C-alpha cells in the first residue's frame, strides 16, 4: 500500500507540477525573445534557469519515490542507473555486477531495489567510504543483492538504535518478501549488507526446513 501511494504521488508530481513548470519555462523563453531592458532580460534568464533546476529536482524526487525505470526496464537496468546516480551525487565510486535474468517478479524487484537504495543511502551518509560494490546474483532458486563499502564500519546492534541507518527497514522488507538478510561490519573494515529472497514461497520453506 505504501509503495502504491508513492507511485501515485510520483505520477502526480511528474504529470501535474512537472508539466506546469515546463510550460512556465517555455513562456519565459518566449518573453526573452522580445526587446526588453537588459536588467529585465537578465531577471527572466535567472528565473528560467531556476525553473530548470526545480524541474530536475522534481524528476529526482519522483524517481526516489517510485523508480519508473524499474517497472519499464527491469531490476538490472534500474540498479545500474541507481549506482550511477549515487556516484554522481556523492563522489563514491560504485561498481555494479550481476548475472541475474530479466524476468524477476515485480514484487521481488521492488524489494531488492529498495534494499539497495537504503544500503547506498547509508554508505553515503555514514560510511565515509570512497568505494562501494553492488552485486545482484541468481543462485538456483533465489536472488541475492549484496552491498559492500570500504568505509569506517559500524556496530549493527548500536546502529539499530539510530533511525538514520534504516537497518530495521531493510530487515523488514526482506522478511515481508519471505527472505532473510545479514549485516556484517567491523570498525575500519567496511560494511556488507546482504539480502536473499526466493522466487517462490515453496523454495523458501524447503531451504528453511533443511
Same domain for 145 and 102? yes
C-alpha pair distances (Å), 171 with each of 118, 128, 164: 11, 23, 14
Does 160 have pLDDT greater than 70? no
Total-model pTM: 0.67
pLDDT tier for residue 133 given thresholds of 50, 70 and 90: very high
At residue 135, the pLDDT reads: 95
Query: In sequence order, which residues have a C-beta less than 8 Å from that of residue 78 and are 6 or more positions away?
Result: 67, 69, 70, 109, 113
| 169-201 residue pLDDT tens | 788 878 888 888 888 887 777 889 999 998 764
Same domain for 51 and 93? no
Same domain for 58 and 94? no
Same domain for 95 and 142? yes
Rg (CA), the chain: 21
Q: Determine the average pLDDT of the residues in 141-150.
A: 91
Domain assignment of residue 35, given as a range:
2-65
Which stretch of DSSP H or E encloses residue 95?
Answer: strand 93-98
* Residue pair 117/145 in contact by the 8 Å Cβ criterion: no
CATH code at position 192: 3.30.565.10
- Cell readout for 49 is 534557469
Within 122-205, strands assigned E span: 131-139, 142-149, 180-185, 191-198
Domain boundary among 20, 41, 65: 65
Amino acid at each position: 500500500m505504501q509503495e502504491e501511494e508513492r507511485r501515485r504521488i510520483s505520477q502526480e508530481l511528474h504529470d501535474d507540477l512537472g508539466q506546469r513548470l515546463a510550460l512556465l519555462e517555455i513562456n519565459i523563453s518566449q518573453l526573452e525573445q522580445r526587446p526588453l531592458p537588459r536588467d529585465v532580460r537578465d531577471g527572466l534568464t535567472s528565473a528560467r534557469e531556476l525553473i530548470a533546476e526545480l524541474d530536475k529536482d522534481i524528476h529526482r524526487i519522483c524517481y526516489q519515490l517510485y523508480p519508473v525505470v524499474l517497472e519499464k526496464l527491469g531490476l538490472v537496468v534500474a540498479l545500474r542507473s541507481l549506482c550511477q546516480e549515487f556516484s554522481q551525487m556523492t563522489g563514491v565510486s560504485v561498481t555494479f555486477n550481476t548475472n541475474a535474468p530479466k524476468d524477476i517478479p515485480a514484487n521481488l524487484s521492488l524489494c531488492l531495489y529498495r534494499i539497495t537504495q537504503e544500503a547506498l543511502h547509508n554508505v553515503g551518509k555514514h560510511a565515509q567510504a570512497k568505494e562501494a560494490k553492488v552485486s545482484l546474483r541468481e543462485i538456483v532458486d533465489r536472488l541475492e543483492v549484496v552491498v559492500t563499502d570500504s568505509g569506517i564500519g559500524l556496530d549493527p546492534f548500536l546502529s539499530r538504535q539510530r533511525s538514520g541507518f534504516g537497518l530495521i527497514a531493510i530487515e523488514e522488507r526482506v522478511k515481508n518478501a519471505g527472505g532473510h538478510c545479514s549485516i556484517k561490519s567491523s570498525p575500519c573494515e567496511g560494511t556488507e549488507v546482504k539480502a536473499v529472497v526466493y522466487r517462490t514461497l515453496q523454495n523458501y520453506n524447503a531451504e528453511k526446513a533443511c
